[in-house]
């Protein structure tokens, strides 16, 4: 992600000085002296931050803020204000500015505010990319995440299996998502408008197998961990494959193909009739480069379920995740994403928290709930909680909550 900043100030000396500060810190800086000059650089695809003086001839910083929010409401705008213009800056925050700085400002303070704004923008843009992936393409593109060759190979296998329209076997380690792959195959097949049924093989009896086959008639029946199917149920399933309008059977298993081929307890005839198409789900250990996309996707799901903004996923967090083997695969990564979103560190559970930590969670929950109800309006949220405005802001700072994220 680029480190782009659009710096707007009619004072050339200030503009050049701040621009140099940013460039020395590694930013890609575009300088503009006015609203007219700046607005052509503002697009929904702009992945950076706008830093603008408030007082400018003609249309001022407030006009630029309004224009930027009209183009993209999530585009962070940092306002620069002269001495004595604090009320104007507060007005800017109420209008949706990310933050404001009083000139002249300390270099470190300036860079810190810009970096925070860029971090917020980066998170927004990453989430949009993930959302776009979900909304575009076929079921394989929307539901099977990853950019590695192995991930692309799995998507290709799913499409090929769906096109064949035959029975299939999915081999994948525990937690790798055999069920999700089977669902993708069904959605890509000509039977996608018919039923997709999932059953746990270990619990099937002759009666429940018959019910499952009837429910999935004309569609797809996924049998999870098919290696545990009782022998009498195996024979019944083998016979049922010849029935008119029988569903497509997809078997998922943690076992290897050798388990079924070595003449064990599984009916070899049934295995070969099911294993017309073979799909293998790679483990996360084999494709660590897919972990960032998967983790951010799971974080977004967890945040949506919890009704909170998705937290930023830092490069340090991603590096730590990629260094792990993940024997629990996607299921374990999903659990880690849920804990990350809820602010629970490894090895920490709600029961392990002391009274102070539990009260802090309750307080944070009340603060964020109030901000959500009043769409980020801190004044109204403070009134609803019957807190003095300063106390309310102190609590937001303590919990690192930004009201503008709830607008």
Question: What separation in angstroms does the CA of 190 have from each of 155, 174, 186, 247?
Answer: 17, 29, 8, 12
Per-residue pLDDT of the chain (407 residues; tens, 9 = 90+): 468 999 999 999 999 999 999 999 999 999 999 999 999 899 988 989 999 999 898 898 899 999 999 999 889 999 988 766 667 767 778 888 888 888 888 899 899 999 999 988 888 887 777 666 555 568 898 889 888 899 999 999 999 999 999 999 999 999 999 999 999 999 999 999 899 999 999 989 999 999 999 999 999 999 999 999 999 999 999 999 999 889 999 999 999 998 898 767 899 999 999 999 999 999 998 998 899 889 999 998 888 888 778 888 887 788 788 888 899 999 999 999 988 988 875 544 334 445 455 556 667 767 877 887 788 888 888 888 888 888 888 888 888 788 877 77
pLDDT for residue 362? 61
Give pLDDT tens digits for 13-43.
Answer: 999 999 999 999 999 999 999 999 999 899 9
Q: Please, are residues 124 and 271 in contact by the beta-carbon 8 Å criterion?
A: no
Cβ neighbours of residue 404 closer than 8 Å, sequence gap 6 or more: 93, 96, 98, 376
CA dihedral angle for residue 60, residue 66, residue 70, residue 73, rounded to 10 degrees: 120
């Amino acid at each position: 992600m680029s480190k782009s900043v659009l710096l707007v100030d009619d004072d050339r000396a200030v503009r050049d000085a701040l621009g140099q500060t940013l460039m020395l810190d590694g930013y890609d800086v575009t300088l503009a002296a006015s609203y007219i000059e700046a607005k052509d650089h503002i697009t929904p695809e702009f992945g950076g931050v706008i830093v603008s003086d408030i007082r400018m001839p003609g249309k001022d910083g407030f006009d630029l803020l309004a224009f930027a929010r009209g183009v993209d409401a999530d585009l962070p705008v940092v306002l620069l204000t002269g001495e004595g213009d604090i009320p104007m800056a507060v007005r800017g925050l109420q209008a949706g500015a990310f933050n404001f700085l009083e000139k002249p400002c300390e270099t470190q303070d300036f860079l810190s505010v810009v970096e925070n704004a860029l971090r917020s923008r980066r998170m927004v843009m990453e989430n949009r990319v993930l959302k776009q992936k979900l909304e575009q393409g076929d079921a394989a593109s929307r539901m099977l995440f990853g950019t590695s060759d192995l991930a692309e190979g799995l998507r290709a296998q799913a499409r090929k299996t769906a096109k064949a329209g035959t029975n299939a076997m999915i081999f994948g380690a525990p937690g790798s998502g055999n069920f999700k792959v089977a669902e993708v195959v069904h959605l890509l097949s000509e039977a996608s408008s018919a039923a997709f049924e999932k059953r746990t093989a270990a619990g099937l009896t002759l009666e429940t197998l018959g019910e499952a086959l009837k429910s999935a008639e004309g569609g797809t029946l996924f049998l999870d961990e098919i290696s545990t199917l009782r022998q009498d149920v195996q024979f019944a399933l083998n016979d049922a494959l010849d029935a008119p309008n029988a569903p497509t059977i997809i078997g998922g298993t943690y076992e290897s193909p050798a388990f079924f081929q070595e003449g064990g307890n599984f009916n070899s005839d049934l295995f070969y009739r099911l294993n017309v198409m073979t799909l293998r789900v790679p483990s996360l250990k084999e494709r660590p480069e897919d972990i960032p996309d998967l983790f951010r996707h799971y974080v977004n799901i967890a945040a949506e379920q919890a009704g909170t903004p998705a937290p930023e996923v830092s490069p340090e967090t991603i590096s730590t995740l990629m260094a792990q083997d993940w024997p629990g695969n996607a299921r374990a990564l999903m659990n880690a994403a849920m804990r990350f979103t809820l602010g629970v560190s490894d090895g920490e559970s709600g029961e392990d928290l002391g009274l102070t930590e539990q009260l802090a969670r309750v307080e944070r929950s009340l603060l964020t709930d109030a901000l959500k109800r009043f769409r980020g309006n801190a004044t109204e949220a403070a009134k609803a909680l019957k807190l003095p405005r300063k106390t309310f802001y102190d609590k937001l700072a303590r919990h690192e909550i930004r009201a503008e994220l709830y607008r």
